[in-house]
Amino acid sequence: MMLGRLSIVLGLASTLLAQHTYTPEDIEEGGRLFRTNCVGCHGPEGNLVDGVDLGHGKFRHATTEEGLIDIVLTGIPGTAMPPNGVTSFQAGAIIAYLRSIATDGRSVVRGDAVRGASIFVNKGACNQCHRVNGDGSRVGPDLSEIGRLRRVTELERSILEPDAEVLPQNRFYRVTTNSGETITGRLLNEDTFSLQMMDSSEHLRSFRRSNLRETSFLEHSPMPSFRDKLSPGEVDDVVAYLVSLKGF
């Protein structure tokens, strides 16, 4: 009886979701919103919370599209699910993205994580920008828990097409001083009168805004593409290694 009831609920949710049409761009934006707002608790596949599998339509508190959107918007009182500052359409795009990840068929890890760890440090020299469990550089994003946050297909795309998606927190910052010096790096703090950043050499720099001619985020990722630097098999190995990084 329980299995039959669950099948009815999932079928109803799927039918109602299908009533709305989302473009590939909408779904891609839904994925970005999911990674920004939801992946920390639900995981990249949407299945880290016990009894919930967002990527396969398994929900606890909603059976309609409107109910799912309401949960995304307002959260669930008495639980760890908070409200999110998105619009109704964006909430629907997140749900459309979750439907899409169940059918894309690209969640299988094909490579060898041990070989990938060696490539990461040696041929790829990824630790010159990234840090894993305390080892490596702090210039780029810390990857110690990247396996909990990104899916296989997303990690592969980041390696081959780093400009395809640059999360806001990972964008590099550039300042130009009144004397003409240009510095790029990670923005750490800012207020009305000053800002602090870590430059590309891992030096902490502090600037008064009155001494700066220009400040801006960079549109493109500082990470190079490894499409012509690693073989497909080596990319699979590095992805397998990254997927294995779940934090301590």
CATH number at residue 145: 1.10.760.10
How buried is residue 91: exposed, middle or buried, by Cβ count under 10 Å (0-12/13-18/19+)? buried
**Are residues 127 and 233 part of one domain?**
yes
Q: Do 25 and 89 fall into the same domain?
A: yes
**Same domain assignment for residues 119 and 200:** no
R_g over Cα of the chain: 21
Residue 117 and residue 83 in one domain: no
> What's the structural domain count of the chain?
3
For residue 103, the model assigns a pLDDT of: 57
Could you read off the pLDDT of 78-102 as tens digits, one per residue?
888 888 888 889 988 888 888 887 6
Residue at 176 is within a domain? yes
Instruction: Note whether 235 and 143 are same-domain residues.
Output: yes
Note whether 237 and 212 are same-domain residues.
no
The answer on 84 and 197 residing in a single domain is: no
d(Cα 201, Cα 186) in Å, to the nearest integer? Answer: 11
pLDDT for position 218: 92
Whether 83 and 199 map to the same domain: the answer is no
Burial class (CB in 10 A: 0-12, 13-18, 19+), 186: buried
H/E segment holding residue 33: helix 24-37
What pLDDT, on a 0 to 100 scale, did the predictor assign at position 11? 44
Range of the domain at 64: 2-101
Q: What is the pLDDT of residues 134-172, one digit of tens each?
A: 999 999 999 999 988 888 888 998 999 998 888 777 889
26/74 same-domain check: yes
Q: Are residues 158 and 180 in the same domain?
A: no
**Co-location of 76 and 22 in the same domain:** yes
- Give, for all 248 residues of the chain, the pLDDT tens digit: 333 333 433 444 444 444 567 888 888 888 888 888 888 888 877 777 877 777 666 777 776 778 888 888 888 888 888 888 888 899 888 888 888 876 555 567 889 999 999 999 999 999 999 999 999 999 999 999 998 888 888 899 899 999 888 877 788 999 999 999 999 999 999 999 999 999 989 999 999 999 999 999 998 888 999 999 999 999 999 999 999 998 76
Looking at the domain assignment, is residue 106 inside a domain? Answer: no
pLDDT of residue 130: 95
Q: pLDDT value at position 248?
A: 62
| pTM, rounded to two decimals | 0.67
Q: Is 61 among the domain residues?
A: yes
Are 155 and 241 spatial neighbours (Cβ–Cβ below 8 Å)?
no
Distance CA 48, CA 241 (A): 20
